[in-house]
């Protein structure tokens, strides 16, 4: 029988919710299970109601689910907010200091804070106490808890490790003695899982590692959630790997600096969210005009304006595709998970260099902050393609914007021996000097567009998940992949003729597979985290094919497989 259990740890900001979640995730990963963790938090440093939700299974999983099996409540709100999602036979564990009017719904009152103080001498060890209580309720062996606490707190010294282990064991033993309920999951006799994937990554962490593997040498950013951790992770390696980095005064400066660094020859990127990208638009056009590669990561959140800064949405696609005045090529890639994120980052730098254009990576808060354990990444296959370079010899007649058949001019850098590099944001001649000549203007516009045929050959086609042909096709892009994929698997297992067509390379679009699927499927349904079905609009623009049915979510919370199935059923689609 498949094990699939979901834990929800909730409370106020500052109560150590993330730590409990990290500890619990590590325990199950070390035990050989697949995990998928999501985080829901308000835009505040203290107080409010936040939660971390961890799904654990002995088969691969790719999304969070609606039903919760164990709630660990550090505040009243944690019970009020999730009790309706508690599955039959589920358990609520809460600190004894919390009072409820209807205790019958709350299954175990535990002295989490009290034991942390008395046994560990530090209220911060309340997270270890909660871990001990949870493990006891599901009858999971304690030894793995001891190992994980030692691994995580080892750098803080033996005293801290011993304190946390003692607190966790005290709650474990107390719960074993005092918990009179039953949890539907008894893991006492559960065999060790077969999953060997031990690398625990968020989408953002994987992007940062991919950028490092691609030899990023400059990153500038004005911090803006949910993108900031990419910047922080790369900065963390900046001294060791000689990566230039700066937190700029605003988003305009961050992209301008990245363009300058790239102009000088350094692989460069910026991180931001939609509101920050709005300020970068003029600089984006400048990068396009001077044909300087740069990678831009936009981790989307609900807008407009400040919107919901810690929530998720997919509503910046059309803005990214058509931002800045004038016409020029750009590429947009939208990874679905941490595994793909690493590869997308390395591809983004190669594509930017090869075609001397801006390449944008489009994520969102769900992608950025969700955590999976994945196979170790093999970096030996990472290739670095700097594109056409003109660095081998002195050339006093060098023309930075030489007109070529494919639109790509050999690139040199300021300081290269025997070459003069001239660039300007104005229309310019082949040598870079500005001009208003009508014929040259036409040739330079055509130069931009002559890159597109080669760009199209470098983009990856969409992937079909499920049977090659089906009556119903879910059309997805980016981070909605996991929820839709599990929904398709579940429905197919029940006999529904359904598959999924998923895009990572979202702009410009490769259309052959789209046309094939539209010809084969009786109905194509766009599944998007926005209200206007922006990707479906791109499909119609590129192909003339209209997606007539849509599933849209725009409340700032991620999709789940169950929610998608419910929407399909309510619409009479399945």
- pLDDT attached to residue 233: 97
Q: Are 10 and 71 in contact (CB under 8 A)?
A: yes
Common-topology check for domains 4-195 and 202-381: no
Q: Are 475 and 516 in contact (CB under 8 A)?
A: no
Range 29-37 average pLDDT: 94
- pLDDT attached to residue 14: 77
Residues 107-130: tens digit of each pLDDT: 888 999 999 999 999 988 999 999
pLDDT of residue 343 exceeding 90: yes
pLDDT of residue 104 exceeding 60: no
Residues 46-70: tens digit of each pLDDT: 778 899 999 999 999 999 999 999 9
- pLDDT attached to residue 190: 65
Whether domain 202-381 has CATH 3.40.605.10? no
The domain 4-195: what is its CATH number?
3.40.920.10
pLDDT of residue 221 exceeding 90: yes
Q: How far is CA 209 from the centre of its chain?
A: 13
- pLDDT attached to residue 102: 64
Q: Which long-range contacts (CB under 8 A, 24 or more apart) does 405-409 make?
A: 405/450, 406/450, 406/451, 406/453, 406/454, 407/446, 407/447, 407/448, 407/449, 407/450, 407/451, 407/454, 408/354, 408/355, 408/356, 408/451, 408/454, 409/291, 409/356
**Quick one: pLDDT band at residue 1, thresholds 50, 70, 90?**
low
pLDDT of residue 560 exceeding 60: yes
- pLDDT attached to residue 574: 87
Residues 397-410: tens digit of each pLDDT: 999 999 999 999 99
- Least reliable range by pLDDT among 101-115, 270-284, 482-496, 530-544: 101-115
**Quick one: pLDDT band at residue 89, thresholds 50, 70, 90?**
confident
Average pLDDT over the chain, rounded to an integer: 94
Give the residue, 351 or 105, on which the prediction is more confident. Answer: 351
Domain residue spans of the chain: 4-195, 202-381, 388-458, 460-570
**Quick one: pLDDT band at residue 103, thresholds 50, 70, 90?**
low
Q: Are 344 and 506 in contact (CB under 8 A)?
A: no
Residues 68-86: tens digit of each pLDDT: 999 999 988 888 889 899 9
**Quick one: pLDDT band at residue 396, thresholds 50, 70, 90?**
confident
**H helix or E strand, kind and range, residue 503:** strand 498-503
Q: Are 365 and 273 in contact (CB under 8 A)?
A: no
Give the residue, 380 or 432, on which the prediction is more confident. Answer: 432
- pLDDT attached to residue 554: 98
- pLDDT attached to residue 143: 87
Q: Environment class of residue 392 by beta-carbon count within 10 Å: exposed (0-12), middle (13-18) or buried (19+)? A: exposed
Residues 146-193: tens digit of each pLDDT: 989 998 888 889 999 999 999 999 999 999 999 887 777 777 766 677
- Least reliable range by pLDDT among 1-15, 232-246, 291-305, 470-484: 1-15
Question: Rounded CA gap, 561 and 37, in Å?
Answer: 15
Question: Rounded CA gap, 267 and 350, in Å?
Answer: 9
pTM of the model: 0.95
* CATH classification (class only), 460-570: alpha beta
- pLDDT attached to residue 105: 53
Question: Rounded CA gap, 362 and 381, in Å?
Answer: 24
């Amino acid at each position: 029988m498949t094990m699939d259990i979901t834990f929800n740890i909730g409370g106020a900001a500052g109560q150590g919710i993330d730590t409990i979640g990290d500890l619990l995730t590590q325990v199950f990963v070390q035990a050989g299970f697949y995990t998928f963790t999501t985080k829901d938090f308000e835009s505040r440093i203290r107080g409010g109601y936040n939660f971390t939700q961890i799904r654990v299974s002995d088969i691969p999983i790719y999304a969070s689910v609606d039903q919760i099996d164990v709630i660990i409540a550090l505040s009243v709100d944690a019970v009020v907010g999730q009790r309706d999602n508690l599955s039959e036979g589920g358990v609520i564990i809460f600190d004894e200091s919390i009072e409820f009017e209807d205790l019958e719904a709350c299954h175990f009152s535990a002295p989490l804070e009290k034991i942390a103080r008395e046994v560990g001498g530090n209220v911060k060890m309340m997270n270890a106490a909660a871990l001990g209580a949870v493990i006891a309720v599901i009858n999971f062996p304690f030894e793995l808890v001891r190992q994980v606490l030692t691994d995580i707190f080892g750098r803080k010294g033996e005293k801290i490790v011993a304190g946390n282990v003692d607190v966790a064991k005290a709650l474990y033993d107390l719960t074993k003695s005092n918990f009179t309920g039953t949890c539907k999951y008894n893991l006492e006799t559960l065999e060790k899982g077969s999953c060997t994937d031990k690398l625990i990554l968020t989408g953002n962490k994987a992007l940062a590692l991919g950028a490092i593997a691609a030899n990023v040498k400059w990153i500038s950013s004005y911090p803006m959630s949910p993108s900031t951790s990419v910047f922080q992770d790369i900065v963390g390696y900046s001294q060791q790997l000689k990566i230039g980095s700066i937190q700029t005064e605003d988003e305009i400066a961050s992209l301008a600096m990245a363009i300058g660094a790239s102009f000088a020859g350094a692989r460069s990127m910026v991180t931001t969210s939609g509101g920050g990208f709005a300020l970068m638009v003029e600089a984006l056009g400048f990068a396009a005009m001077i044909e300087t590669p740069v990678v831009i990561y936009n981790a989307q959140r609900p807008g407009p304006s400040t919107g919901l800064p810690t929530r998720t949405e997919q509503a910046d696609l059309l803005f990214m595709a058509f931002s800045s005045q004038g016409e020029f090529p750009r590429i947009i890639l939208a990874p679905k998970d941490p595994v793909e994120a690493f590869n997308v980052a390395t591809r983004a730098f190669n594509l930017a260099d090869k075609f001397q254009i801006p390449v944008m990576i489009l994520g969102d808060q769900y992608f950025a902050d969700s955590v999976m354990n994945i196979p170790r990444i093999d970096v030996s296959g990472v290739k670095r393609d700097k594109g056409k370079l003109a660095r081998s010899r002195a050339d006093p007649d060098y023309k930075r914007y030489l007109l070529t058949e494919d639109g790509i001019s050999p690139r040199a850098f300021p300081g290269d021996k025997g070459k003069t590099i001239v660039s300007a944001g104005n229309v310019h001649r082949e040598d870079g000097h500005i001009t208003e000549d009508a014929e040259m203007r036409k040739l330079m516009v055509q130069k931009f567009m002559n890159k597109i045929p080669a760009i199209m050959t470098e983009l990856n086609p969409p992937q079909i998940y499920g049977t090659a042909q089906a009556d119903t096709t879910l059309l997805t892009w980016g981070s909605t992949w996991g929820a839709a994929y599990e929904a398709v698997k579940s429905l197919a297992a029940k006999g529904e003729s359904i598959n999924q067509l998923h895009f990572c390379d979202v702009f410009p679009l490769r259309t052959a597979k789209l046309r094939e699927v539209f010809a084969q499927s009786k109905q194509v349904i766009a599944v998007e985290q926005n209200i206007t079905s922006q990707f479906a609009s791109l499909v119609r623009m590129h192909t003339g094919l209209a997606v007539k049915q849509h599933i849209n979510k725009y409340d700032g919370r991620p999709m789940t497989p169950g929610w998608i199935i419910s929407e399909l059923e309510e619409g009479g689609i399945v």
